Amino acid sequence: MTSGFLHPSIFLIAGALLLPFIQGPLRRPYLFLAPLLSLGAVLYNAALAGSYGLVNFLDWQLVFGRVDKLSTVFALIMALMAVIGTLYGLHVDRAGEHMAAWFYAAGSLGVIYSGDYLSLFLFWEMMAFASVFLIWFRRRPNSLAVGFRYLVIHTIGGITLLAGILLHYQGTGSIAFDLLDVAHPGLATWLIMIGFGLNAAMVPLHSWLPEAYSEASFNGAVFLCAFTTKTAVYALARACAGMEVLVVMGVIMALYGVIYAVMENDIRKLLAWSIVSQVGYMVAGVGIGTDLAINGAVAHAVAHILYKSLLFMGTGSVLYMTGKTKFTELGGLHAKMPATFFFTLVGCLSISAVPFFAAYASKSMIISAGFEQHLNWAVWLLMLGATGTFMYNGLKLPYFLFFGSNKCSQATWDKAGDPPRNMLIAMTLGATMCILVGTVPGFLYALLPHAIAYTPYTAYQLTETMQLLGFAALAFFLLKKYVEPVDRVCLDIDWLYRQMGHAFLWLIKRPLQWCDTAWGEAYRVVGIGSLMTVSRFWSWFDWNAIDGVVDGIARGVRALGGKVRVLQSGQIQVVLFYLSSLAAVMLVTFVVSQLL
Amino acid sequence: MELLLIKEGFPLLSFLIFLPLAGSIALLFFHGQTFARLWTLLITSLTAVCSLPLLFGFDPASSKYQFAEAYAWIPRLNINYIVGLDGISILLVLLTTLIMPFCVLASWKYIQQRVAPFMFCLLVMETSMVGVFVALDFVLFYIFWEFMLIPMYLLIAVWGGPRKAYASIKFFLYTLAGSVLLLVAIIALYLESGSFFIPEMMWQPYSLTFQVLVFLAFFLAFAIKVPMFPFHTWLPAAHVEAPTAGSVILASVLLKMGTYGMLRFCLPITPDATLLLAQPILWLSIAGIIYGGFTALAQQDMKKLIAYSSVGHMGFVTLGIFVLNGRGVEGAMLQMINHGVTTGALFLCVGMIYERTHSRELALSMGVGKYMPWFVTFLAFFSLSSFGFPGTNSFIGEFLVLAGTFEHSTSLALAAIPGAVLAAAYMLRMLQKVVWGGTANPDQSYLTDLGPREIAVLAPFLLFVFWIGLGPQPFINLMHTSVSALLNQLHHWQQHQQVAAVLWN
Amino acid sequence: MTTLIAYLQARLKTVVTVCFVLLAAIAVASLLVDTQHAHSWAERRVPFFWSLFGFAAAALIIGAARWFGRSGIQAPVDVYDRTLLPCEEEE
C-alpha cells in the first residue's frame, strides 16, 4: 500500500472480526469506536487526490484507493452513516448483527474507493452477502425466504455485472473503473449499467427493495437504506454519467415509487418505495450528465442518506417499542412518543424539500439542470413526483402514524413510548445534519465534484416551493379519506417473478428430472437390454455353433484315434518298421523337392 | 529424449508411484483394523511429504518433462517405463498425494467393516492415480488408467450405499467402454509411429481422417471420465453410493484424469481434429454447465446435488480447454485444482453429516445450523467457493475461463453465464436448507458438532480455498510455461493447416 | 412537545384559520415575486402557477393511486400463500 492512504474498510472489517471477543462493559465503547475510526480514515483521506493502494494481481493492477471529490463525498457520508447506524443499534446484544452491518459498510466504502472493476466486484459481492444477514436477523417466519430471494436476485445482478466487466475487459483491455462509452453503449456498457442498476432498484429490477427493507431488523434497516442503493448511484455516476436512458429510467422510478407509496399500509415499506422514488431523482440526474446535474445527484444522495436514515430510525423506534409497522394497527402516537414524532417530522420535512431542510438544497439542482438541458417533459414529471413525495411522506406518514384515528390495540398503546437513549441520540445527530444541510448548504456544495455557483435560496425558488407544498397539503386534507390506509398488500412485478420462479422449479423438478431418469431407463432398457439380447445370442452361438464344431472335431479325433490305436501293437519290430518307412518316404520327398 | 529432464540420483517419481503399492503389500499380511488405519495414514502422509520436493525442485521456466526417468521395459515392442512431470501435471500430482491422507482420516470412523481391504484399495488407487498423471509411455499410461478401475469398483461395491451393486457396475462398464476405445487408439498410433513414447507422437503430420478417428476415440474415453454431458449418468449413481473417501477421490482426482487426458493427448497428438471439433465440444460443455445446474437444483439428496454440480463445474473446465487460448486453459487447469479442493471438501462435509444422521436426504439434515456451528461455517465457505464468490479459489478459475471464452466468442460466454447463476441458486438452496431448514425441521438436538479430527481434515481445504483465491499467482506460475508452450505449438500448427476455416466457418 | 400539540389541538379551528391565511399569503406572494428565474414559459405567464400545479398534482396522484389500488394491485394480505403451487413452500 502506498503511504498516505488509509482504507476505512480495514477498520470496519478488523473491528467486525474482533467484536466477538470484546464482551461486557467494553463492548459499547468498542462499538462506538470502530466506525469512528473509519470515519477518521475517510477524513484523513479527504486531503489526498489520486490513486493509492495499488496491488498487482495476476495480469492486472488493482486500485484500492482512488481518491477524488466524487469518491470523497460519498465515503464521508457512508462513514458518517456507519457511525450513526451503529449508535442507533448500540444496545443490540447479538454480535452478528454488528458484524454484518460493518462488513456491509466496509463493502460499500470499498466500492466507493475502488479504481478498478475487480476490486469493485469483490466489495460489491461483500455488500450483498453481508446485508442479507440484516434481513435474516429479524427472525420472523418468513425472514428466511425473503433473505434468500434478496440474495438470489443480488447474485444475478452481480453475475450480470461480472459479464459486463469481462466483456468490457475483452473489448478495451482495461479493468479501470471509469466513464464508459455512454454515447454509443455496447453490450458491455448495458450489462454493467444493469448490474449497477439492480442495486439502485431500477424498475423493473426493484421488487427486492420494498420486500427486503420492510422485513429487516429495526436497526438493520437503517444500514440497508443507506448503503446498497447509494453505492449503486455512485457507481452509475462514475461509469454511466450522461447515459440518456437513465433519465427515462429515473422518471419512471420516481413516479412508480410515489404511486406505490401512496397505496402502502406498512410504514417501512412506504419508506422503501420512497427510496425507489428518490433514487429515481438521482438516476435521472446522472442521466442528464451535466456538471450541475451530477452535483445535484450527489447532493441529493447525501441528503437522502441523512433524511432516509432518520426516517427509518423513527419508524424503527415505533417497531422496536410497539412491534407493529402497519398504519392500520397504529395511529395517534404523538402523545406517547413525542421525541420520535419530532425526529420523524424533521425527516419528513427534509424529504419533502421544505426550505431549510435537507432535500431543498439538492432537488432543485436536478430540476434546474433538467430545464437547462431542455428535458422539459422529464422535469415536469419529476416535479409531479416531488409533489407526490410530499404527499405520502410529508403528510400521509406523519398524519396517519402520529395523528389520525388511533387504531392501536391496548397492548400496542401500552408498549408505545420513546425509545432508549442511544437511539434518541442517533436520531438527534441525524436530525441536526438534516437541518444543517438544508440551512447552510454551502458546506455540502463545497464537497461536490464539480465547482458550480448555485444557491437555492432565491425568492423565486422559495415561493415556488411554498406554493407547491401549501396547496398540495390543502389537496391532501380535502381528499384525506381517499388516502386512508387499508390492510392490504400491494402486488408488484415480484408477483410475476414468484409465479415464474415456482413454474421454473416445478419444471426442473418434474420434466427435467424425469428426462434424466428416462435417460437412465433408456440406458437400462435399450443399452443393457440389447446388450443382454446380443450376449444371449452369442452365448447360444458359442454353445451350439462354435462348440458344435469343436465338439464335432473332438469326436472325430476320438474316432480317428480309435482307429489309429489299432496300429499300435506292443511289438518293437512293428514300430521300427513303420518308423523307417516313414523316414524313407520323407527322405525321398525331400530329395525330389530339391531337384524341382 | 531431449524433451526429458532426466532426474539424477533418487528416482523420486517412481518412489512416489510405488510407495503406496509397497505399503499395500503389508496390508495383505496384517489385517488389524487399527493397524490398517495407522499404517495407511503413515504411508499416504509419507507420500505427501515426499511429493513436496517435486514442488521445490520444479523449474517453472522450463516446458520439458522434469524429474523424468526412462528405463527399457519390453524393448521388442518398444514399450518403455518413462515418467516425467511438467507444468500441466505437477499440480494434479500434488493434489492427489496431498488429498489422500485426508481421505484416510475421513474414513477413520466411517468404515467399520473390512478396514484392511479398504485401505488396501486406497493405496492401490493412489499408485495408479499418480502413475496416470506422470506416465509418458502409452502402455504404461493405459495400465495405470485401467489399474484404478478395480479398486474403485470394489470401493463402491463393498463399502457403498444401498444401491451399490448397480452403481459400481454402471461405473465400471461405462468407464471400461471408453477405455477400450482408448486402447484401440493407442494401438493405432503405435502402428502409425512405431513407438509408444507419448511426446514423440505429438505434432506429427497424421492424415486428417486418422486424426479425427483417434481424437474421437480419445475424446470418448475422456469425456466419459470428466464427465461430459451426455456421458455423465454414471456419476450421480457412483457418487451417491460410494463411501465418503471414495466420493472424495472420485470427485477430486478421477474426474481430473479425463480433462488431463484431453490436454495431454487430444490437443497435441491430434491438433487438426481438435481445431476441427472444438466448436461442437464447446457447445457440449455449455450444455453440461446448464444441464448440471438445472439438475442440481432439483435434487433432494445432497451427494447427488454435489455430483450434478460437478458436471457443471467440469463443463467450465472443458470450456476453458477448448477455447484454446492462454487464459482459458490456465483457468481450466486452475479450476481442476479448485474443483478438487472445493468439491472434495463438500463431500467430506456431507460425509460428516451422514455419519451423524445416517441419511443424505436434505429433508433429514435440515436446520442443523443451531447445533453444529463449526460445521455450517465450513460448509458455508465451501459453498461460497463452489459458486465462485470473489475471494475464493473458484472465482479466479471461473473468471479466467470466462475471460478466455469471451476472447473466443461472446455468445458462447454469455451462454455460460446462466450456469453461474444456477450454481449460486442451488448452492444457496442447499445451504439454506442445511443451516436453517424451514418451519418443520426435524429434531436435531442430538447432533454433535465437529470434533478435532474433522476440523483438522477440513481446515487445510479452507486454507487452499482462500490461498488460491487471494494469491493465485504462484499456482499459475507453475503451469504457465507448459501451457504457453502447448498453445504456441498449436498456433504454429494452425498457421500451416487451415482446416477449421474450411468446415466450420 | 406533547403539551404544545395538545394546546394546538384544543384550538383546532384557530389553527386551520391560520393555515388558510398563510396559504392566501403564499398565493399573493407568488404574484409579486420576480419571475425572471422561472424555467419555462408556463411559469411566467400563468398566475398562481405553482399553487395550481401543487393542488392538481396532489389530486392526480391520489386519484391514480386509488385507481391502481382498486384495479387489483392492493390484494389481501395472504395473497402469496394462496396462489403458491401446493408443493412449493420453500421459497
What confidence tens digit (pLDDT) does each residue in A537-580 have? Answer: 766 766 676 666 766 777 777 777 777 776 666 666 666 777 77
Query: Which whole number is the average pLDDT over A479-493?
Result: 80
Chain C residue numbers touching A364 (CB-CB < 8 A)? none
CB contact under 8 A, A470 and C23: yes
3-class DSSP state of B231: coil
Chain C partners of B433 at a C-beta cutoff of 8 Å? 90
Q: Do A152 and B298 touch (CB under 8 A)?
A: no
Strand partners for A51? A66
Q: How far apart are CA C48 and CA A471, in angstroms?
A: 10
Number of Cβ pairs < 8 A linking chain B and chain C: 5
Q: CA–CA separation, A162 vs A158, rounded Å?
A: 6
Q: Residues 139..168 of A with a Cβ closer than 8 Å to C: which? A: 145, 148-149
Instruction: Report pLDDT digits (tens) over B63-78.
Output: 888 888 888 888 888 8
A192 touches chain B (CB under 8 A): no
The verdict on a CB contact (< 8 Å) between C77 and A342 is: no
Measure in Å the smallest separation between the Cα of A122 and chain C Cα atoms.
27
Strands B4-6 and A489-490, by their bridges, are: unpaired
Q: Count residue pairs from A and B with Cβ separation < 8 A.
A: 76
pLDDT the model gives residue C87: 36
Q: Is A84 helix (H, G, I), strand (E, B) or coil?
A: helix
Segment A293-344, tens digit of pLDDT: 999 999 999 999 999 999 999 999 999 988 888 888 888 888 888 888 999 9
Nearest to B263 by CA among B209, B316, B222, B212: B222
To 5 degrees, how large is the angle CA A196–CA A298–CA A8?
A: 75
Smallest CA-to-CA distance from A42 within A108, A128, A96 is with A108
Q: How far apart are CA A280 and CA A397, in angstroms?
A: 20
* Neighbors of chain A by Cβ distance (3+ pairs < 8 Å): B, C
Reference B432, options B388, B486, B341, B366; nearest CA is B366
Closest CA to A135 of A210, A233, A30: A210
CB distance A461 to A364 below 8 Å: yes
Residue C46 lies in a domain: yes
Touching subunits of C (3+ CB pairs, under 8 Å) are A, B
C-alpha cell at B341: 479442493
- Kindly state the DSSP code that residue B505 receives in the 8-state scheme: -
Q: A184 in helix, strand or coil?
A: coil
pLDDT over threshold 70, residue B490: yes
* A373 close to A454: Cβ distance less than 8 angstroms: no
Rounded to an integer, what distance in angstroms lies between the CA atom of residue A63 and that of residue A83?
A: 26
pLDDT at A484: 80
pLDDT at position A196: 94
User: Quick check: C26 and A463 CB within 8 A?
Assistant: yes
CA distance A254 to A258: 6
Of all residues in chain A, what percent carry a pLDDT higher than 70? Answer: 92
SS3 state at B419: helix
Q: What is the mean pLDDT of residues C44-73?
A: 82
- The pLDDT of residue C91 is 34
Q: Which residue of C lies nearest to A257 if distances are taken between CA atoms? A: C65
pTM score of the predicted model: 0.83
Residue among A342, A384, A391 whose CB faces C1 most closely: A342
Residue of B nearest to C89 (CA): B438
Domain count, chain B: 1
Kindly state whether A492 is in contact with chain C, defined as any CB-CB distance less than 8 angstroms.
yes
Q: Compare CB distances from A471 to C29, C43, C55 and report the shortest one's residue.
A: C55
Query: Are B389 and A125 within 8 A, CB to CB?
Result: yes
Question: Is the ipTM reported for this complex over the cut 0.90?
Answer: no
Q: Does residue C84 belong to any structural domain of this protein?
A: no
Query: In chain B, what is the straight-line distance between the N-terminal and C-terminal CA atoms, in Å?
Result: 39
C29: in domain: yes
Give CA–CA dist B45/B105, Å, rounded: 11
Who contacts A578 (Cβ-Cβ below 8 Å, separation ≥6)? Answer: A567
Count of domains for chain C = 1
Rounded Cα gap, residues A82 and A85, in angstroms: 5
Q: Is B80 left (phi over 0), alpha (psi -120 to 50) or beta?
A: beta
Most confident of A320-329, A576-585, B403-412: B403-412
Q: Which chains touch B (3 or more CB pairs under 8 A)?
A: A, C
Cα C72–Cα C74–Cα C77 angle in degrees, nearest 5: 125
Q: Is B227 helix (H, G, I), strand (E, B) or coil?
A: coil
> Which residues in C lie closer than 8 A to residue B429 (C-beta atoms)?
90
Print the SS3 string covering A278-330.
HHHHHHHHHHHCCHHHHHHHHHHHHHHHHHHHHHHHHHHHHHHHHCCCEHHHC
Summarize pLDDT for A52-76 with one digit per residue, the tens: 888 888 888 888 988 988 999 999 9
- DSSP designation for A218: T
In chain C, the largest separation of any two C-alpha atoms, in whole Å, equals 68
CB-based contact B421 A155, cutoff 8 Å = yes
| Residues on chain B touching C89 (C-beta within 8 angstroms) | 438-439
Q: Which residues numbered 19-78 in C keep a CB inside 8 Å of some CB on A?
A: 22-23, 26-27, 29-30, 33-40, 43, 48-55, 57-66, 68-69, 72-77
What percent of chain B stands above pLDDT 90?
Answer: 42
- Verify whether the Cβ–Cβ distance B403 to A169 is below 8 Å: yes
Work out the angle at residue A249's Cα, subtended by the Cα atoms of residues A245 and A252, and round it to the nearest 5 degrees: 145
Q: What are phi and psi of A62, to 5 degrees?
A: -90, 140
Domain that holds residue C49: 2-75
Nearest to C89 among B429, B433, B438 (CB): B438
Going by the DSSP 8-state scheme, the letter that residue A116 receives in this structure is B
Half-sphere exposure of A278 (CA within 13 A, CB side): 34
Q: Which of C55, C60, C70, C71 to mutate to test the interface with A (most CBs of A within 10 A)?
A: C55
Instruction: Please compute the mean of the pLDDT values over residues B431-437 and round it to a whole number.
Output: 77
The SS3 of residue A484 is coil
Range of the domain at B425: 4-504
